[in-house]
Amino acid sequence: MAKINYKIHTDAIKEKLIPPTLTKNQINLKYANEADLLNVALFGITAKIWQDQNPKLNGNICDYASIEQLIVLSNLESINAALIRQNLTQNKRI
């Protein structure tokens, strides 16, 4: 389920938020920004802040999430994808 909703989320970003004029770096930043939208909604912090606060831990914030948090994250990916397809701004989606 997590992989399916992740793909739904990234496909919506690709289709609606990434114009063909962006560079590879700008595209990567767009995906990271959308991931951080979900991280902030669920965990209250961005991936970078989590990494800075946990320098001795390997992996990322999701590697240390509970099963309940991962289920919520998967659902947030699906919901955010639907909201992206409705052309809602990030401020309205959060």
DSSP H helical ranges for the chain: 2-16, 24-43, 47-53, 67-85, 90-93
Q: Which of 48, 33, 27, 19 is nearest to 94 (CA)?
A: 33
pLDDT of 26-42, one tens digit each?
Answer: 999 999 999 999 999 99
Mean pLDDT of all residues in 81-93: 96
- Long-range interactions of 69-72: CB distance < 8 A, separation 24+: 69/42, 69/43, 70/2, 72/42
pLDDT of 36-63, one tens digit each?
Answer: 999 999 999 999 999 999 999 999 999 9
pLDDT of residue 2: 65
Q: Is the pLDDT of residue 1 over 80?
A: no
pTM: 0.88
pLDDT of residue 49: 97
Q: Is the pLDDT of residue 23 over 90?
A: yes
